[in-house]
Amino acid sequence: MKGINLGQSPTEPIGTRIRRLRRAAGFNSREDLATAIGSPTVTAAVIKNIEAGRKADMSVVHLFEIAYAIGVSPLVLLLDFSHPNREATITGLGPNFSGATNNDLDDWLTEPAAYAPLAFGTDNYRELLPEVQQMYVAREYRIAGLAAKATVENVDHARVNMQDNGRNNVQIENHLEELRIRAAQSEQILRITVRTAESLGMDLTERD
């Protein structure tokens, strides 16, 4: 598997960051962390070499396993968010990444971090690779689903408040109507997202 060069931040080497976050997560020793990970490929010796900066690169498996065990996003290990606008220092990156800041790489790795609902309805979207289209739709489905659920819960909460305060409370009634409209919009977006996912051959089945 292609490795990820660890590099070194002007303020804190990534190995040092991993050691600090490991301890903050309650793993006082590398052995404790290795035991929690439970993978033969991520031993205490491997973690020691990463933290000491002796390991030139870290595989994606190492990155994922360590980040998951200590309870952070892999991006927290890779990027120095204490200086988001400083040039990222992942050793080995070529000229395409010259001048790229920690924020730039964060935006790229989480794209689309922020986008208008139903971005996949635009011409630009239709020109993207199917795999990229699927990424957009998967994220839209997740966001739309959460929004629809939250709106329904807010409607129920507003109804309870209206009952507690009397049905003549105009302010609560107006708020409830706004929530109903928002719920309908969320459900519509969700339905469109599901149809788009089906057209792309995506499986949106959720695990029990």
Query: What's residue 7's pLDDT?
Result: 47
3 and 62 in contact (C-beta within 8 Å)? no
Q: Where are the domains of the chain?
A: 3-109, 119-199
Select the more confidently predicted residue: 112 or 84: 84
Question: At residue 71, does pLDDT exceed 90?
Answer: yes
**What mean pLDDT is predicted for residues 126-142?**
79
* Per-chain mean pLDDT for the chain: 80
Query: What's residue 18's pLDDT?
Result: 92
Single-letter amino acid code for the residue at 196: T
Cα–Cα separations (whole angstroms), residue 80 to 16, 162, 169? 12, 48, 51
Question: At residue 30, does pLDDT exceed 90?
Answer: yes
Check: pTM over 0.75? Answer yes or no: no
| Local confidence band at 29 (pLDDT 50, 70, 90 cut-offs) | very high
DSSP 143: H
Query: What's residue 16's pLDDT?
Result: 87
Looking at the structure, give the CATH architecture of the domain made up of residues 3-109. Answer: Orthogonal Bundle (1.10)
Beta strands in the chain (DSSP E): 3-5, 57-59
Question: At residue 8, does pLDDT exceed 50?
Answer: no
Question: At residue 205, does pLDDT exceed 70?
Answer: yes
Question: At residue 116, does pLDDT exceed 50?
Answer: no
The pLDDT > 70 percentage for the chain reads 80
Query: What's residue 28's pLDDT?
Result: 95
Question: At residue 5, does pLDDT exceed 80?
Answer: no
Single-letter amino acid code for the residue at 84: P
78 and 14 in contact (C-beta within 8 Å)? yes
Question: At residue 11, does pLDDT exceed 60?
Answer: no
Single-letter amino acid code for the residue at 6: L
Q: Which residues contact 169 (CB under 8 A, 6 or more apart)?
A: 161, 162
Question: At residue 113, does pLDDT exceed 50?
Answer: no
pLDDT digits (tens, 9 = 90+) for 98-110: 889 888 888 888 8
| Local confidence band at 117 (pLDDT 50, 70, 90 cut-offs) | low
Cα–Cα separations (whole angstroms), residue 204 to 73, 107, 199? 23, 25, 12
